[in-house]
């Protein structure tokens, strides 16, 4: 009986570790005085998945993609169900460019939405948010881990 209980606890511990390994870290950013709680996409798997299959996102939420190096970025909306703003930032957290209110992709091939200059960070917010805030190139993002 004790052996079975120990095996069950060990299995639960492994399950908890597995779930924790797949959970994305939550941080927050401040843009134009507004706080957004963001999931971090820091590795290739998280970069590829992004906000795919989400049916909604709270107005104060988003996803921040963090890349190792600063280079030209391009995102697409495959399997993304909600319109998004894509904000591209350089290594100093200054807005390089914004793709506003990008619609979900309904058929392959999906178009891509590139940055207009090298970017190290990409912030995805609900579509229309950047316009409401008046975001423009040169604006600064505050990142709080």
In a domain? residue 119: yes
* pLDDT tens digits along 77-105: 999 999 999 999 999 999 999 999 999 99
Segment 118-139 shows an average pLDDT of: 98
Q: How many domains, in total, are found in the chain?
A: 1
| 5 has a pLDDT exceeding 90 | no
In a domain? residue 38: yes
Q: What is the CATH number of the domain that holds 114?
A: 2.60.120.1140
Closest by CA to 52, choosing from 136, 145, 116, 124, is 124
pTM: 0.83
Please list, in sequence order, all residues whose beta carbon lies within 8 angstroms of the beta carbon of residue 109, skipping any fewer than 6 positions away.
none
Query: What is the pLDDT, as a whole number, of residue 21?
Result: 40
**In which element (H, E) is residue 18 found?**
helix 2-22
Domain boundaries, position 74: 24-144
| 8 has a pLDDT exceeding 80 | no
* pLDDT tens digits along 19-35: 334 446 789 999 999 99
Q: What is the DSSP letter of 54?
A: -
In a domain? residue 6: no
Query: CA 67, 106, 51, 33: dihedral to nearest 10 degrees?
Result: 80
In a domain? residue 7: no
In a domain? residue 136: yes
Q: What percent of the chain has pLDDT over 90?
A: 80
C-alpha–C-alpha distance, residues 136 and 87, integer Å:
9
In a domain? residue 8: no
Query: What is the pLDDT, as a whole number, of residue 83?
Result: 98
Query: What is the pLDDT, as a whole number, of residue 24?
Result: 63
| 2 has a pLDDT exceeding 60 | no
Query: What is the pLDDT, as a whole number, of residue 98?
Result: 98
In a domain? residue 2: no
In a domain? residue 90: yes
Average pLDDT across the chain, whole number: 87
Outline where DSSP puts E strands in 72-140: 74-76, 84-89, 95-102, 112-114, 119-126
The tokens 């843009």 sit on which residue? Answer: 31
């Amino acid at each position: 009986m004790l052996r079975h209980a120990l095996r069950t606890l060990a299995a639960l511990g492994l399950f908890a570790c597995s779930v924790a390994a797949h959970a994305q870290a939550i941080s927050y950013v401040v843009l134009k005085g507004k706080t957004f709680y963001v999931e971090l996409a820091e590795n290739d798997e998280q970069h590829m998945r992004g906000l795919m299959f989400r049916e909604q996102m709270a107005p104060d939420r988003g996803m921040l993609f963090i890349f190792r190096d600063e280079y030209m970025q391009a995102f697409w909306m495959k399997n993304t169900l909600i319109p998004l703003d894509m904000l591209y930032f350089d290594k100093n957290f200054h807005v390089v460019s914004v793709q506003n209110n990008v619609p979900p992709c309904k058929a392959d091939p999906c178009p891509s939405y590139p940055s207009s200059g090298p970017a190290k960070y990409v912030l995805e917010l609900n579509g229309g948010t950047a316009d409401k805030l008046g975001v423009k190139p040169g604006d600064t993002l505050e990142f709080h881990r």
